Structure 1
Amino acid sequence: MEHITALTAELLETDRTAGARRAAPAALRAVASAEARAAVGHGTAERSALMELLQVAAWILFDAERHGISRRFSSRALALARTLPAGAASVEPLVLSVLCLQEEHLGRPAESLRISSSVLAGRDLPVRVAAIFHVREARARARLRQDRRALRSLATARDLLADGPGERDPSWTWWFDRSELDGHHGLALADLGDLDGAAELLHEATAAGDAPAYRSLFSTELARVLARAGAWRETDARLSALVDSVPDIGSVRALNVLERTTRTIGRGPRVPRALRDTSGHLSAALRRETGPETGRTHPPYPAFRAVRRP
């Protein structure tokens, strides 16, 4: 168990500081190592530790846009959760929260909504767990163009977060703070067509100091929103600040957003020459970092069916 716990802690630190691009190979090795060791026993503590490792690896591989293996790890984590006492399965909602985000990311908001709604239907959720799933629900409803219901879910999440940490909040909810909420609120508004409101909230989300590496996504999404709005001067300023940082961006999702932003600029009317030059430099930097995989389309993964607890 100690070996698995140490692997998980190391992965979390690598992901937090360097991002999924650097952490993904280590995540695959960690899972293989944990499963190959005969020391992995059948006790509750061992199964709980392995479930947590699988969840962390699934998150990392999701942010690295490696969705097939990410979903397999999530499925195995949920299967382990079925074998644990309720208290020992506290990471199970985190697995489901990643699956909600993944389904929405892959263009299946109805499936994301099904998962989030099933969790929210449970009784007596810890405060931050409930807030997280209201945000997941809002993102799915925004993609489904359910405007009022999406905004209502976001307002509920903001009210819950305003109450501060609850005594029953699991330790894994540490990352869900005001900046996280602002970022997802902004992305929901972008899906609803409110680009000015989206830009304002995404700007707030990027202002946080010591943020996890994956939150580079909010900076790149802000650039994309500005480009969609035709705010060319602001887009140029944002992209100019990002060009040199491309080698340090650890989220493959964020890099793919940048690639889509260059395509938006390429199709845009009356784009200033300076911005076209910046976009060209950015495209070259992305090719150097990721090669032909940047911007690839997602394979048609089947809808995920969460393992339900008996």
Structure 2
Amino acid sequence: MTTFGRELRRLMVERGVGVRALSRRVPCNPGYLSKLRQDQQTPSDAMARRLEAALDAEGSLVPLTEPSSARRRGERPVDLFGVDLPDVNGRPVDAAYVESIRETSQALVRLDTVHGGNDVLPLALRAFRVANRKLGSGAYERPIERDLIAATGEIAEVAAWLAFDADRQEVSRQVIHEALMLSRAAGDRDMELFELTHMAMQSVHLHRPAEAVRLTADVVDGRRPSPRVTALFDIRRGRALAQLGDKRRALDALGRARATLKDGITAADSPWTWWITDAEVLWHTGMAHAELGEWGAAVPLLRETADRRAAYQRARYNDLVHLLNALVHVADWREAEPVLGEVAAQVGEVGSTRTANLLARTVGRIARTDAPSTVAAISDEVQRRLHQDLSRQASPRLL
């Protein structure tokens, strides 16, 4: 009988892929992957599908997961957001638990990509608290300690991003510092760099540009990481320099980032850099012009970004709100009206309080101008819908 591990080994040999190379593609922990190859662990269906995709072998592994056999052996149950399910027989958590944390992180990212951070944030904080509690209590098998620390740091980073998008900035700052501490303790340099870019991003958002420059200086000017990670630090530095009024250096940094991304993803790049695209740099360049007071220069860049990301509702909604803000600043009502109409139709569909707050400020600005009656009417409707949407959102104590 062909087992999951035997088929996985066959596929890896056939494709000429080793454990570490495959673990980077999935991504997952190499130690956990080794256990799967030896049939010492039973993977979830989600993990089997990711391995199939990485090995270009659709349909080869999922049928062999045999979840019932795991239950017969008494292994700890894992579900998508249930990393705090009670351990069977009270055993310390193991490598499968670590993998469940990583799968939860990826599921949270997928949900955020579609729905925004508001509704997903409580799930992320819950998952982080549970994993952190296991780590703090020592309720884990000693060989997995480093992997558990790393996975907990990773899910903390996801929670910090979601808090940022939900405009819970104090929560985001608290969690990202915990994430950084964990990733450093695990020796996870890739995740540590990601967390530093988050901190720089938040510093820019809170208009603390000198802080953002300090956060990026050591990486950009000193020991350089992989090209795409360096590009992201250049993006953060460019935005900060624009806030400081240093146009030349700001646009130089953003130009370097855009040139770097033209080379595509290389083997040296971290797996989390997949989302750093040319459109992302274009958007930040538009925002840099806005921060320099050059709203007219920002408009075409923000419009192009929104067009490029038309297939992604959440991203396009955010892009359109920033474009609308720029159009209102230059009083281009003819262009603003259709953008405002599209935004109005999506209020409440994307749960990003950060974007909703900008939209509220923008329609408030419209109300103080001599905008045409058609624009003013749509703006009033947006304001009404925003009020309804925000009034429905409870503000629970998250931490």
* Same fold at TM > 0.5: yes
Counterpart check, 1:253 vs 2:350? no
**Contact 2:101–2:152, Cα closer than 8 Å, also in 1:** yes
The letter of the residue matching 2:127 is A
Counterpart check, 1:50 vs 2:147? no
**Equivalent position of 1:3 in the other structure:** 100
In 2: Cα distance, 1:65 partner to 1:146 partner: 27
**Contact 1:109–1:144, Cα closer than 8 Å, also in 2:** yes
The letter of the residue matching 1:23 is V
**Contact 2:159–2:172, Cα closer than 8 Å, also in 1:** yes
In 2: Cα distance, 1:271 partner to 1:194 partner: 21
**Equivalent position of 1:124 in the other structure:** 224
Counterpart check, 1:147 vs 2:244? no
**Equivalent position of 2:296 in the other structure:** 196
- Alpha-carbon distance, 1:214 to partner: 4.8
Q: How large is the Cα RMSD of the aligned pairs?
A: 1.9
Aligned length: 291
**Contact 2:228–2:260, Cα closer than 8 Å, also in 1:** yes
More divergent stretch after superposition (42-51 vs 31-40): 31-40
In 1: Cα distance, 2:133 partner to 2:315 partner: 29
Would the alpha carbon gap of residues 4 and 196 (structure 1) be closer, same or farther in structure 2, given more than 3 Å must change?
same
- Alpha-carbon distance, 1:196 to partner: 2.3
More divergent stretch after superposition (147-156 vs 202-211): 202-211
The letter of the residue matching 2:256 is T
What is the 5 A alignment of 1:22-61? Answer: 22-37=119-134, 38-39=139-140, 43-61=145-163
Q: Which runs of 5+ in 1 are unaligned?
A: 294-310
**Equivalent position of 2:205 in the other structure:** 105
- Alpha-carbon distance, 1:135 to partner: 0.8
**Equivalent position of 2:165 in the other structure:** 63
**Contact 1:4–1:34, Cα closer than 8 Å, also in 2:** yes
Q: Which runs of 5+ in 2 are unaligned?
A: 1-97, 394-399
Q: Give 1:169's match in structure 2, choosing from 266, 269, 286.
A: 269
How does the TM-score come out when normalised to structure 1? 0.89
In 2: Cα distance, 1:157 partner to 1:65 partner: 27
How does the TM-score come out when normalised to structure 2? 0.69
**Equivalent position of 1:264 in the other structure:** 365
What is the 5 A alignment of 1:209-220? Answer: 209-211=310-312, 213-214=314-315, 216-220=317-321
CA displacement 1:109-132 (0-9 Å, x = unmatched): 111111111221232321111111
- Sequence identity percentage: 33
**Contact 2:184–2:192, Cα closer than 8 Å, also in 1:** no
- Alpha-carbon distance, 1:35 to partner: 2.3
**Equivalent position of 1:299 in the other structure:** none
Q: Give 1:136's match in structure 2, choosing from 212, 236, 253.
A: 236
Task: Name the larger-Rg structure.
Answer: 2
In 2: Cα distance, 1:39 partner to 1:280 partner: 55
In 1: Cα distance, 2:100 partner to 2:392 partner: 37
In 2: Cα distance, 1:292 partner to 1:261 partner: 21
In 2: Cα distance, 1:172 partner to 1:64 partner: 21
Q: Give 2:328's match in structure 1, choosing from 227, 235, 260.
A: 227
- Alpha-carbon distance, 1:292 to partner: 9.7
The secondary structure found in structure 2 opposite 1:158 is helix
CA displacement 1:239-272 (0-9 Å, x = unmatched): 111112011122211111111111221222x311
**Equivalent position of 2:344 in the other structure:** 243
**Contact 2:317–2:346, Cα closer than 8 Å, also in 1:** no
More divergent stretch after superposition (98-107 vs 32-41): 32-41
In 1: Cα distance, 2:316 partner to 2:166 partner: 13
The secondary structure found in structure 2 opposite 1:206 is helix
**Contact 1:214–1:250, Cα closer than 8 Å, also in 2:** no
**Equivalent position of 1:21 in the other structure:** 118
**Contact 1:19–1:214, Cα closer than 8 Å, also in 2:** no
CA displacement 1:34-88 (0-9 Å, x = unmatched): 2234348662111111110001110111111111111111111111122223xx3
In 1: Cα distance, 2:256 partner to 2:348 partner: 38
- Alpha-carbon distance, 1:27 to partner: 1.3
More divergent stretch after superposition (33-42 vs 162-171): 33-42
